[in-house]
Structure 1
Amino acid sequence: MSVFPFTAIVGQDEMKRAMILTAIDPTIGGVLVFGDRGTGKSTAVRGLAQLLPPIQAVAGCPVNSARPEDCPDWAEVSDRSMVARPTPVIDLPLGATEDRVTGALDIERALTRGEKAFQPGLLARANRGYLYIDEVNLLDDHIVDLLLDVAQSGENVIEREGLSIRHPARFVLVGSGNPEEGELRPQLLDRFGLSVEVVSPRDVETRVEVVRRRDAFDRDRAGFIAQWAPEEAALRARILAARARLADIATPNTALHDCASLCIALGSDGVRGELTLLRAARAVAAWEGAGSIGRDHLKSVAPSALRHRLRRDPLDEAGSSARIARQLDEVLP
């Protein structure tokens, strides 16, 4: 199915950049996108799927193994040749059962052949890719707990119905939602590397351009996609170039001190904030072609990396973004 091109999305620059940064360095963690309905949240995620470079995977492997020897025995894969696959972007529906998410006994094989075999779930398909949850704040608690376990270990373990199965499940978690419909559990909130807030355009010209592009896409999808193909190819090439530079980006001690000082000033718990801020700044440096992490890189991603990690201060009515901006001015002038 054809989807709206990522590069054709009007505005929402912070959201698009957060997704690009996780494409450059998936260890940054997931992206949480909160905002009004109809602001391009799901459109951006689906556009990301066709934008991202393909991965090399074992042809018949259900968990997208990067090497033939990594394909699990339970998969009983006969074709272990390497093929190019689109980077997985898997939807996790709100009503999904635990069996559908983690995988379960293959009932058809059990009934027809009397064999116990494993039917992989959504976590297997999302390995080495993205797992997308729309309305993530409405996700059932037991699925949240399951995702927390897998996100922590990078492995999906199933022990039931006589099965003892494990497989890698390393993915970038992307969640979107409307804050008016409920808050996200703190444990899951902390698992997202970056958090962005999106709002509806407030000026006429921007809204007109959004409508114009969407209407052109709906009227002639193939033509619209072809029109934006050069921009998509250029962005894909830039992401690949940034990935290649990432390992060579220098990390001066001043950058580490800046990360720690800012997180202490904001009262961020633990060190996950510093790690995420550092990784995101390194990805920005690679994206911009810099040789080392600078203070400007840290300041540009600090709101996305830290706004969802701040404790509420009943004596401070300013929002998280305003608090971060204030501390950036004081701590990292």
Structure 2
Amino acid sequence: MSRIMNEAGTRPAFPFTALVGQAPLQRALLLAAIDPAIGGVLVSGPRGTAKSTAARALAALLPDGAFVTLPLGASEEKLIGTLDLEAALRENAVRFAPGLLARAHDGVLYVDEVNLLPDALVDALLDAAASGVNTVERDGVSHTHDARFVLVGTMNPEEGELRPQLLDRFGLMVELENCHDASERQRIVKARLAFDANPQAFCASHEAAQHELSQRLRAARVALDALAWSDAVHERAAQRCVDAAVDGLRADLVMLRAARALAAFEGAAQITPDHVDAVADAVLAHRRRAMPEPPAPGGNAQAPELSRDASDHQRESEIKTDSDVDSDADWGELAPEPVAARQVKGVIPLPAKKS
């Protein structure tokens, strides 16, 4: 039986299989759950698009997974944990007070409005999410523990963006939009009202589907190591990243991991280029850059500095040419007025210009 209660044990989570209109988000969350080394999922979208509901629903699918929320005002010690140095000196042993990273092990760590967190906290989150371990160091004393969890960060673009360096470290990104389809809105609202009216009965009606999906997640995790990337898969991933003009190689690595996770989830015997194409959008959504304009055919490709210098030289030549000719065509120009000249001591006067 899949775990449907949240960390407080007082209210069941909305079933993952009952989510409506969230297919891209559901796929990204499942892939990150199969291989947490993908680096977590960043969900961007307006308020009321079921971001937190989907994250809680994913935690309910995991065998021993908790759902841990990182509040905006949390300190770094609350996140990574603390060391009792006095106990270390007195007892010659490390006494570690676990933080939220330890509590989220094998579960989901949810960060609402991650774009508003201090950069130091985001760095610590992403380091642990990618490596699967957390190390706390203080005055030469250190403690390391496992911290494998699915990181789910949400943000509303209207409230600010993440720095590009932090964006790139999120494995996958899904951009949600408001639903403008009336029939789909009705299905979403009806499901939510039915859940709120009787959560236990609603979850019971989806228990079979939840159990099947939970078993598929388990099997996919086991199958990961048996799947290898062929040269054709490597080539497709590299080409997709080149076409998107991404910085660095993190996108290639994430794309290959995500393609492998998808193949494992589908029970495929091997990873194919189609798996790469299926995950490419989520990998590249926050990394894609505009390609530079190619040089014109037959044009003289030169360095930008040289082009700028040539352009400045051309403008100077045009200005000199305009000042040397009689520009009667300049409408509104005033005729020059005679000004009395006097010789300044130490300055040699210029000879009069011959007409």
Provide TM-score, normalisation by structure 1. 0.77
Of the three residues 117, 123, 142, the one matched with 2:120 is: 142
Q: Given that residues 126 and 170 in structure 2 are in contact (C-alpha distance below 8 angstroms), is that contact kept between their aligned partners in structure 1?
A: no
> Does the 8 Å contact 1:250/1:291 carry over to 2?
no
Question: 1:295, 1:153 → 2: CA distance?
Answer: 26
Of all paired residues, the percent bearing the same amino acid is 52
Secondary structure at the counterpart of residue 167 of structure 1: strand
For residues 306 and 118 of structure 1, what CA distance do their matches in structure 2 show?
A: 39
Corresponding position: 1:264 with 2:242: yes
Unaligned runs of 5+ in 1: 55-85, 316-333
8 A contact 1:248–1:291 mirrored in 2 = no
Contact 1:105 1:161 in 2 (8 A): no
How far did residue 167 of structure 1 move? 2.6
Give the match for residue 296 of structure 1: 274
**Relative to 1, partners in 2 of residues 1:147 and 1:208: Cα closer, same or farther, differing over 3 Å?**
same
Mark the CA change 1:243 to 1:169 in structure 2 (over 3 Å): closer, same or farther. closer
- Which residue matches 1:87? 65
Q: Distance in 2 between matches of 1:213 and 1:152?
A: 35
Partner of 1:9: 19
The 3 A distance-change label for structure 1 pair 314 and 219 is farther
Evaluate the alpha carbon distance shift between residue 118 and residue 250 of structure 1 in structure 2; reply closer, same or farther with a 3 A threshold. Answer: closer
Query: 1:137 touches 1:182 (CA, 8 Å); kept in 2?
Result: yes
Let me know the Cα RMSD of the aligned residues.
2.6
Corresponding position of 1:159: 137
Is 2:256 aligned against 1:246?
Answer: no
Question: Which residue, 277, 285, 292 being the options, matches 2:263?
Answer: 285
**Separation of aligned partners in 2, 1:27 and 1:146:** 15
- For residues 153-302 of structure 1, the aligned pairs below 5 Å read 154-160=132-138, 164-302=142-280
Code of the residue aligned with 1:233 in structure 2: it is H
Q: Deviations over 1:169-221 (max 9, x none)?
A: 33332101111111012222112111111112211111111111111111111
Residue identity opposite 1:183 in structure 2:
E
Q: Are residue 307 (structure 1) and residue 285 (structure 2) matched?
A: yes
Change in Cα spacing, 1:299 to 1:98, as seen in structure 2 (3 Å) is same
Alignment partner of 1:29 out of 39, 43, 46: 39
Counterpart residue type for residue 21 of structure 1: L
Structure-2 separation of matches of 1:213 and 1:234: 20
Q: Secondary structure at the match of 2:286?
A: helix
Query: Partner of 1:126 in structure 2?
Result: 104
1:262–1:161: structure 2 CA closer, same or farther, 3 Å change rule? closer
**What amino acid does structure 2 have at the position aligned with 1:248?**
A
**256-265 or 145-154, which moves further after superposition?**
145-154
Contact 1:91–1:133 (Cα < 8 Å) also in 2 = yes
Does the aligned pair in 2 maintain the 1:118–1:163 contact within 8 Å? no
Task: Please tell me whether the aligned partners of residues 144 and 188 of structure 1 are also in contact (alpha carbons under 8 angstroms).
Answer: yes
Q: Which runs of 4+ in 1 moved over 6 A?
A: none
CA distance in structure 1 between the aligned counterparts of 2:83 and 2:257, rounded to whole angstroms: 39
Alpha-carbon distance in 2 for matches of 1:130, 1:139: 18
Tell me by how many angstroms 1:235 deviates: 0.9
Cα-to-partner distance string for 1:125-151 (whole Å, 9 max, x where unaligned): 123333211111111233223334545
Q: CA deviation at 1:161?
A: 7.3
Partner Cα distance (1:235, 1:130) in 2: 17
Q: 1:127 to 1:213 in 2, by over 3 A?
A: same
SS of 1:45's equivalent in the other structure is: helix
SS of the aligned residue for 1:251 comes to coil
SS at match of 1:159: strand
